[in-house]
Amino acid sequence: MNRFELYGAALLLSAALGLAWHGQPSAQDRLARQAPRLDERLASEEVRIDPGELYDLMGNEQLPLALLDLRSEADYNLFHLRGAQRVELAQLGQPWVRELPSATVIVVMSNDEQAAEVGFKLLAAQGLLNAYLLGGGINFWLDVYRDGQLGAALPARGTGDDTLRQRFSTALGAGQPATHPDPLHPLKRACTAKVKAAAAAKRPSGGCG
């Protein structure tokens, strides 16, 4: 080997050693770097979906849907949507989220929206393009589907303090009424659909009608 080849090899090796030492950005690093852009997306409301749309997505069997519930264990045990898995906010920064197939629609939720907004940013910062958050949170979902306020308007961003407003006599988790769409009697609600991963498969009527 000649001199240039030797220098090249040395340069390459040093660069690789430096790379192994420097490492890749963590989820927090990515969040910090991308925060302005993500805050813009949140402010534009393009990722905040109406409970009516979530109702529709839940009824669509062809669409792989991941429901991530960011609330406390107590709240989760009192009531949660059928199929929702409870995750800690910190866990959203972990590598396992990348196991979610890229075609999956992910909806994060909290009682109102505060935790969900952070959760959305963590997911989006890692490049998950199909992440959304439930507008109005569980509180508003319960207003609409448990208390029958089908025509109620989506509350403004920033309403509430992320505590569960509703009172339940027993903790039935997903055994409560209103945890999932009823395929026989779907409820209709006017809303704008925002999710782009549209699976054009047969959907039950209801949702954003």
Partner 1 sequence: MTMQTESDLQPAPAQPAVAKAERYLNPYAAGAWLGLLLFLTVLATGHGLGASGGLARVLVAVEDIFAAGRVDANPSLAEMAGGPQNPLNNWVVFNVLGALLGGFVSGLLAGRVKLELPRGPHTSPALRSTMAVIGGTLVGFGARMARGCTSGQALSGGAVLAVGSWAFMFAVFAGGYLLAYPVRRLWN
Partner 2 sequence: MAPFDIATHWGTWAENLSYLGFGFAFGFILERAGFGSSRKLVAQFYLRDMTVLKVMFTAIVVALVLNFWASGLQWLDFSRVFVNPTFLGSGILGGLLLGMGFIIGGFCPGTALVGAGTLKLDGMYFLGGVLLGSFIFGETAPLYWAFLEQSGSLGRFTLADWLHLEPGVVVLLVVLLALAMFIAAEKLEAWAQARAAGSNAPGVQQ
Q: Which residues bind partner 2 (CB under 8 A)?
A: 1, 9, 12-13, 15-25, 29-30, 33-34, 98, 101-102, 126-128
Least distance in angstroms from the C-beta of 102 to partner 2: 7
The terminus-to-terminus CA distance of the chain in angstroms comes to 72
The least distance separating partner 1 from the CB of residue 198, rounded to whole angstroms, comes to 17
1 near partner 1 (CB under 8 A) = yes
Instruction: Please state the closest distance from residue 37 (CB atom) to partner 1, in A.
Output: 17
Partner touching 36 among partner 1, partner 2, none, CB below 5 to 8 Å by kind: none
State the minimum distance, in angstroms, from the CB of residue 24 to partner 2: 5
Tell me if 5 contacts partner 1 by CB under 8 A.
yes
**Burial degree of 2 (CB within 10 A; 0-12, 13-18, 19+):** exposed
Count of all residues that appear for the chain in the document: 209
Contact of residue 30 among partner 1, partner 2, none (CB under 5-8 Å per partner type) = partner 2
Rounded Cα gap, residues 187 and 59, in angstroms: 11
Contact 160, 93 (CB under 8 A): no
Residue list 73-102, contact with partner 1 (CB under 8 A): none
Class of residue 86 by CB neighbours under 10 A (exposed 0-12, middle 13-18, buried 19+) = middle
**What, of partner 1, partner 2, none, does residue 2 touch, CB below 5 to 8 Å by kind?**
partner 1
Q: Which residues form the interface with partner 1 (CB under 8 A)?
A: 1-2, 4-5, 8
